[in-house]
Chains A and B, each alone.
Chain A
Amino acid sequence: MLDQNIYNQFKLKYPLESLKAAGLREKAFQAFAAQGFPTKKEEAWKFTSLSEAKAIDWNIALEESMLSHDEMVYVSKQLSSDFYNIVFVNGFLNKTLSDSDVPVEFKDLEETDFNVANDFPDLKLINLSRGFSFQKAVISVDKKSQLDKPLQMVHVVSAKTSTMVQSIVQVNVADNCELKLIQHTLGLTSQLNNQHAFNADLQINIGKAANVKFANLQNANTRDFSFGRIQFSLSQDSQLTSLDLALGSKTSRHYLATEFTAENANAGVYGLTLLADEQHCDQYTYVHHKIGHNNSAQHYKSILTDKAQSVFRGRVRIEQDAQKANSEQLNNNLLISKAAQATSIPQLEIYADDVKAGHGSTVGQLNKDEIFYFLSRGISEKKAVQLLTHGFAKELVYKLENEVMENFVFQTLESKLNEIF
């Protein structure tokens, strides 16, 4: 139980130096203890139930656990030499598996790390994250520490009981710099008997004329819970391409916010949800045009089979002073099986008049004519479905426009697709 006892234990082990921060942490924990997990009564959580997570007797990961030999091998397989790799086990840096030349440092939480807007839809999860955290990992990329290869950040959970892991990562990309980053949440096969929860908070600050390519691969075990908040802040003339893949977890919530703080920035925000069995994923995107003369494009797709369910809520807000903002959004849902369910809620909130904003949303099944085309050429129905869904899914991966990242994402995607079909 995430109660006072467990909190006291945690606090004792990881005190915070700043008294103010310690007070705010206490407050965050107390808020979580009083309010618990979000419920379906809240508008932002209307279609996603956390009652299963609520019923679990959670523990908090107090330290890194020693990975077994098999687990080491399993993780190592994901650490391609095309990348710089850093590996977190239960939220703690694993030095053995991580490359030493990654510009990452750990900082104790300060007062400012506890700032969250009161109307933030996932406030309860952030309270949980802040209540049980003591540090954040800060990755800084500047002219001196520019990386010549993409950086892969791997998260795994290894524990004998139902354990909840918090992670706070902040990435700062300096002006005129580039970063290619993959956040990879990986489920260990050895952990299939346990139910874990991973609550990750990632902030990426993109400097002037900087260029960021980012992929989030959420591939946790299918009994686990994943909660994630990803926030991008774009400065003048910056470029962002983001691809969010939801493949794993029993229930997952991906909150992804893109905020324009200056003019002439471009953001491409893409997402793909591929689920089977009774998996449920809730993608909540928020594109905030605070300032004008910016472009945002969103394209989210979901492929659902068995009894899987997906929720896409795409919120776009264009403020009164954000004239000449351009915003596009598209959501396509493919229902492979009878019992699969898709919910789509595009939201446009527009306060400026000289803007272009639009959204589109579709739900449907595979085109019968296309399947027939395959059948008439002697290709089995199973193979036809497989090929068509592959095609549907792959379109978004190419948006990354980086071969190394694309190949890596494909590899994970393929194995999930082959598993399902």
Chain B
Amino acid sequence: MSNKTESASYEYKYGFTTDIEMETVPKGLSEDILRLISAKKNEPEWVLNYRLKAYRHWLTLTEPAQSENKWAQVNYPPIDFQDLTYYAAPKNKPDAKKSMDEIDPELIKTFERLGIPLQEQKRISGVAMDVVFDSVSIATTHNEELEKVGVIFCSISEAIKTHPELVEKYFGSVVPLTDNYYAALNAAVFSDGSFVYIPKGVRCPIDLSTYFRINAKETGQFERTLIVADEGSFVNYLEGCTAPQRDENQLHSAIVELVALDNAEIKYSTVQNWYTGDKEGKGGIYNFVTKRGICKGKNSKISWTQVESGSAITWKYPSVILQGDNSEGAFYSVALTHDYMQADTGTKMIHIGKNTKSTIISKGISAGHSSNAYRGLVKIMPSAENARNYSQCDSMLVGDRSSAHTFPYIEVKNNTAVLEHEATTSRISEDQLFYLQSRGLNTEKSISMLVNGFCKEVFKELPLEFSVEAVKLIEMKLENSVG
């Protein structure tokens, strides 16, 4: 922990490591490694074949930041994929069927420090959790309550075994293995993640949540989440993540797929707080994620809400394919970068069905030496009669060494579409600051108030607990960046 000396300043409080016996596979990536991972996880043959197919495709691709046609506004040295471990699991992993008491007490402690109590009596009421530690899911809570209404909420590895028909039908249907470099890599080596199925007409009684933790050194986390909302169902899903402070960069490359059938609605919220690297930009997580949802059915709705405050580099575009008529997609995002962080994030809204609607609200805040880019695509296909999109992307600069970029792509192939896009970039207004200071607030408090106001439109979309956490998080992160 390099910045212990500056005890007054904000420290990444999730930066500790857990000393626990781990079971890993040898470093490197090859077909043998994939076979080994697959064998360890005891997977059916179709999964192994899927992994191999993805791996073979991945070999034909070039890493996007190294490619000739590089488009993302991020810079990092080439990643040595042979120097990573693709599977790491705590040795004393409880069998999912067994009781909670068998979880390694060290793990329970870890999650308590993170504020995620696993033990039954301390659980946050009203939220069911799936907890992923490095490559495996170690616990899923509130199972019985969910089973009563027929909701399936378990790790994807378990789902592959217990609900193969559902998983096989939807797995890879939204993000095909050929989608992009990191999607192919994930499809080859994916470790664990959550699976959710909400049956017809069920309104999920409690919020579902997954907590991701990277602990082991030189590992990549490749989680895979699949959420299927059957006709007329509703689910609110939350995701949170942290990692220890390490000097090396760690890779996190996930795929999240959402499927909403007729009249279904999925709300997906993320507070991403991976380790960002230290003040000099050393270490931190590379967060290269493919998140995509499809509004397959009529009147279906998907919304992504994200607070991106962590990771050394973020490369993430939660998207919605609006296939069903009258379907709706939304994207609400706050991305905060500080020190030497780089973020290239945004969304894609692909309008295919009639009367489809999408809303994009993106707020970027860059401080320190960081670079923060919004990159988005709104595409109206010829079949999308009366499509409607509203996009607003605002950037705020805090500090004169930071940069903010906006790269929206708008493609319209149907003249009945109505589309508006707006973007602004500015710094905190001196008048506003002066106003607050003249009322006795100090500079830091004033800035944090103004930033919170700037982000309000997005925060209000978050579930209550997350919203409170997000406000605090932004406040803490800014504390040190404002000079």
Point out residues on A near B: beta carbons under 8 Å.
Answer: 41-43, 47, 320, 323, 333, 335-365
Contact = CB atoms under 8 A, between A and B. Distances in A.
A320 B416 CA distance: 41
6 residue pairs, one from A and one from B, having the closest CB atoms: A335-B415, A353-B397, A361-B421, A344-B410, A348-B406, A358-B424
A274 to B, nearest CB: 16
A338 B405 contact: no
Contacts of B412: 333, 335, 341-344, 363
Interface in B391-412: 395, 397-412
A357 B401 contact: no
Contacts of A342: 410-412
B425 interface: yes
Contact of A346 (B402, B408, B416): B408
Contacts of A361: 408, 410, 419-422
Residue of A43, A320, A323, A350 with most chain B CB atoms under a 10 A cut-off: A350
B113 interface: no
Contacts, number: 117
A350 to B, nearest CB: 5
Interface residues of B, number: 37
B423 interface: yes
A338 B421 CA distance: 21
A357 B403 CA distance: 12
Nearest to B372: A350
B76 interface: no
A360 B401 contact: no
B427 interface: yes
B438 interface: no
Contact of A337 (B69, B405, B415): B415
Contacts of B404: 348, 350
What's the dominant secondary structure at chain B's contact region? Answer: strand
Contacts of B395: 348, 350
Nearest to A333: B412
Contacts of B421: 344, 346, 359-362
B3 interface: no
A350 B401 CA distance: 10
Interface in B101-146: none
Contacts of A339: 382
A337 to B, nearest CB: 6
A311 to B, nearest CB: 9
B400 A364 contact: no
Contacts of A42: 69
Contact of B399 (A347, A353, A359): A353
Given A349-B403, A351-B403, A336 B415 contact: yes
A357 B425 contact: yes
B427 A341 contact: no
A337 B415 CA distance: 6
B426 interface: yes
A26 B399 CA distance: 47
A145 B115 CA distance: 78
A374 B71 CA distance: 47
A338 B423 contact: no
Nearest to A304: B415
B403 A350 contact: yes
Given A42-B69, A358-B424, A363 B417 contact: yes
A365 B425 contact: no
Contacts of A352: 397, 400
B423 A360 contact: yes
Nearest to B377: A345
Interface in B402-451: 402-427
Contacts of B400: 320, 323, 352-354
Given A43-B71, A344-B409, A365-B415, 11 more contacts: A41-B69, A336-B415, A337-B415, A345-B408, A348-B395, A350-B395, A353-B427, A354-B400, A358-B422, A363-B410, A364-B417
A357 B424 contact: yes
